[in-house]
Chain A
């Protein structure tokens, strides 16, 4: 079988021109890393985890470092992973203060009989698995802080439209 890996960096209504090249570089870097795993004989599961970890570490994308802020100005992250061999899957939601939620999702898949852990439970599990806790501030970028301020001012002035904000 001829291995292949695809990545995406999120559907968006508009992308500022000065951001385009950085996004291109980010997705190419992630796809290349995933492909390297496959070419070295790695499993599809390892390839997707490697690719998404790179995108989570890249502040240009809405995940991990660079995740957008909620109404309280903090980061809550969701992630899931699935192995097509046997349909095993793992996920976390409302995860805080970890760098790579996708790696925690994989631990949920491999180390528990469950599919999804939330918030406080995900945090306790991460701690039990030895996943480093990082200050939430470390995930926040100045651009996202400013974007939240602008969004709050805008939604104060008009009816919020979730369709404008694709996630």
Chain B
């Protein structure tokens, strides 16, 4: 799975997520990636999220919207992502990762799997990471 979130100079956000799904999946199986609220969400009143990981688990907790719910409740984006990923792990034993940007420009890349390649560009600088 791949994904992106962005905040533009007008203060608007967007997300995009795309995937081939699970290797050896049943024909017709669909995970979270095309499902708004799970594979991603964007609302300029809050921020944007793109998700990756075990699709069925992400669908069960509506991962992207859950993270933005926590942001709405006043959590910082990193804490919101950790809280939601932790909930997914404890509730349905699902692992995954997310990238989040708030409408104020705060951002985070978080995951519970071993690895998730990510990169962020802001202020002319590029940050990136791979392992926890």
Contacts and interface: CB of A to CB of B under 8 A. Distances in A.
A70 B9 CA distance: 40
Interface residues of A, number: 87
B22 A162 contact: yes
A97 interface: no
A24 to B, nearest CB: 6
A152 B95 CA distance: 23
Contacts of B31: 78, 167
Nearest to A82: B42
Interface in A80-123: 80-85, 87, 89, 91-94, 101-102, 105, 115-116, 118-119
A149 B95 CA distance: 25
Interface in A128-167: 144, 147-148, 151-152, 155, 160, 162-163, 165-167
A79 B34 CA distance: 5
Contacts of B29: 70, 76
Contacts of B105: 1-2, 4
Contact of A1 (B8, B24, B123): B8
Contacts of B67: none
B80 interface: no
Given A35-B121, A79-B33, A101-B18, A8 B2 contact: yes
Interface-centre pick from A7, A42, A61, A89 (highest chain B CB count, 10 A): A7
Interface residues of B, number: 79
A141 B115 CA distance: 22
For the complex, would chain A's binding face be called helix, strand, loop or mixed by DSSP majority?
mixed
A164 B14 CA distance: 30
Contacts of B96: 11, 166
The 5 A-B pairs of least Cβ separation, nearest first, read A67-B20, A35-B121, A84-B42, A55-B2, A11-B97
Interface of A: 1-15, 20, 23-24, 26-28, 30-32, 34-35, 38, 41-45, 47-49, 51-52, 55-56, 61-64, 66-72, 74-85, 87, 89, 91-94, 101-102, 105, 115-116, 118-119, 144, 147-148, 151-152, 155, 160, 162-163, 165-167
Given A78-B34, A84-B42, 9 more contacts: A5-B122, A6-B100, A8-B52, A41-B9, A44-B12, A44-B13, A51-B6, A91-B35, A144-B23
Interface of B: 1-31, 33-36, 39-45, 47-48, 50, 52-56, 93-101, 103, 105, 107, 109, 111-123, 126, 128, 130
27 contacts: A1-B105, A3-B9, A4-B107, A6-B50, A6-B120, A7-B2, A7-B3, A12-B113, A12-B115, A15-B114, A30-B2, A31-B121, A31-B128, A42-B8, A62-B2, A63-B19, A64-B18, A68-B20, A74-B27, A78-B18, A80-B35, A81-B14, A84-B43, A84-B44, A84-B48, A101-B18, A162-B22
